[in-house]
Structure 1
Amino acid sequence: MEVALDDDEIVTRVRAGDREAYDLLVARHTASAYRTAVLLGAGSDAEDVIQEAFVKAYRKLSRWRGEASFRSWLLAIVANESRNLHRSRGRRDGLALRAAAADPATEATAGDGLDAVLAAERRAALVGALRRLPDRDRDVLACRYLLDLTEDETGTVLGLPRGTVKSRAHRALAKLRGLLDHEAVRRG
C-alpha cells in the first residue's frame, strides 16, 4: 500500500531535483489555485494566472521556509498574480463571482420551482452586493468564506496580519449585510 506524501516531503523531493514531484504539487493544488484566481477577479484569465503562479512558485521554491503551508504560500502567489493582472488591464471590475453565480436554468429544474427561483434571486442579490464592496473587502470575504481558508491562511494569501483579517472580515460582513438589507427594502 502506497503512503501519500505530504507537501513538505514533496517539496523536499523537488528541491533535490525530482521534477515529477512538482507535478504532484501542481495536481494537488490546481483546483484551489484556480478557484482563488477566479474569486480574486482573474475571470477568463484564471488559467494563465495559475500557470504563471506555478512557474513562479517553482522558481522561488528555495524561498519557501515552511512557516505557512505550501498551499497558503502558493495561493499568496496566485493572489499576487491576480492583482498583477488587474493592474496590467487597468480595470477595477472587482471580484468575478461566477463560481457563486451558478446557471439559474440548471437550478430551476431541480426540486421545487419556487424554491429554485428564490434561491437564484438570493444568489443574484449576494453576488451583486459582493461586487459593490471595495476590493479589499471582497478579497477577504472570498478567501474566508468562498475558499474556506482559515484566518491564518487568508492572512498569508493577502499578505495581512491575522488580526487585520479578522477585523476586515467582520467589517466586510457588516457592509455586506447592510447592502443586502438595503436591497431587500428596495425590492420589498
Structure 2
Amino acid sequence: MGMREGGRIDVDEAAVIARVRAGEAEAYAELVRAHTAPALRVAVAFGAGADAEDVVQAAFFKAYRSLGSFRDGSPFRSWLMRIVVNETRNTVRSSARQRAATGREAALTEAEPLIPESADPAVAAVDEERRAQLTAALDQLSEEHRQVVTCRYLLEMDEAETATALGWARGTVKSRLNRALKKLSRILPQALRAEEGGEDHA
C-alpha cells in the first residue's frame, strides 16, 4: 500500500476484495483506510453535517455486506461513493436544506487551495465573498443540478465517477451538468464571472 499523488492511499483493490471474499474479513480495513477521506468529503458535500462520520460508517458496512454484488474490474471507489450518496440522502432527507448548504460550503473550502498567511487580506475577503456567492447560487438550483455540480466541481469527480455515484447514465450527467451551468451563469452576479481572471470569453 503506497501513497498516491495528492495524499491518496494506493491499494490493490481487486486483491483486497478477493481476500475479503475468501473469508479474510480484516482485509476490508485496508479499503476503509484508503477511502475514508473521499467518502467523508462526499457525505459532507451532500449535507450530512455532523452525521458525516456515522453516514460513512454505515456506508462502509453496507458496502461490506454487498461486496458479493460488486462487479470485478469496475472501480471500487465509484461504487462505494454511490452507497455514500444514497446513505447521505436517506439521512438528510428530513433535515433542513440549510445543512446541505453548510456541507457544500465546507466541501468548497476544502476543494480550494488555502490562502497563504502572507496573502493580502483584501484578496482573502474577495475569495470568501465569492465562495458565499457560489454557495447561495447552488441553493437556487434543483436537487439534481446541485448534485451534479457538487460531484463534478466540488468533489472533482470525473464524468464516469459522477454517473456511478449518482446512479445516472453518462449522457444524463452531461445534459444535467450543461443545464446546471447555464442556470448558474444566470444566477451568479456578473461581477463574479468578470473576475474569473479578467479573460475575454467573447
Matched, 1:162 2:170: yes
Deviates more, 1:48-57 or 1:133-142: 133-142
2:107 is paired with a residue whose SS is coil
The 3-state SS of whatever aligns with 1:27 is helix
Gaps of 5+ in 2: 3-9, 194-202
Q: TM-score, normalised by structure 1?
A: 0.86
Q: Secondary structure at the match of 1:157?
A: helix
Distance 1:110 1:171 in 2: 39
1:66 Cα deviation (Å)? 3.0
Q: Residue 178 of structure 1: CA displacement? A: 1.1
Cα drift, residue 135 of structure 1: 1.3
Mapped partners of 1:134, 1:182: distance in 2: 21
1:57-91 CA deviation, whole Å, 9 max, x = no partner? 0001001013631000000000000111123x354
Correspondence for 1:144 among 142, 148, 152? 152
Which one of 118, 133, 157 corresponds to residue 126 of structure 2?
118
- Amino-acid identity (%): 48
Report matched runs for 1:57-76 at 5 Å.
57-66=63-72, 68-76=74-82
Partner SS state of residue 155, structure 1: helix
Aligned 1:78-117 pairs, distance under 5 A: 78-87=84-93, 89-93=94-98, 94-95=100-101, 96-97=103-104, 98-101=106-109, 109-117=117-125
Cα offset, 1:44, TM superposition: 1.1
In structure 2, what is the equivalent of residue 127 of structure 1? 135
Aligned position for 2:41? 35
Distance 1:99 1:110, change over 3 A: farther
Q: Distance in 1 between matches of 2:95 and 2:128?
A: 31
Q: Distance in 2 between matches of 1:55 and 1:112?
A: 46
Distance 2:154 2:96 in 1: 23
Alpha-carbon separation, structure 1, partners of 2:183 and 2:12: 39
Per the TM alignment, residue 7 of structure 1 is displaced from its structure 2 partner at its CA by 0.9
In structure 2, C-alpha distance between the alignment counterparts of 1:153 and 1:120, rounded to whole Å = 29
Give 1:153's aligned residue.
161
Instruction: Please give the TM-score of this superposition, normalised by the length of structure 2.
Output: 0.81
Number of equivalences? 180
Q: Which amino acid aligns with 1:158?
A: L
Write the deviation string for residues 83-126 of structure 1: whole angstroms up to 9, x where unpaired: 11123x35444442123247xxx959541111111111111111
1:58–1:140 CA distance, 2 compared to 1 (3 A): same
Contact 2:32/2:60 (<8 A) preserved = yes
Q: 1:48 to 1:5 in 2, by over 3 A?
A: closer
Task: Assess, with a 3 A threshold, how the Cα gap between structure 1 residues 64 and 124 changes in structure 2: closer, same or farther.
Answer: same
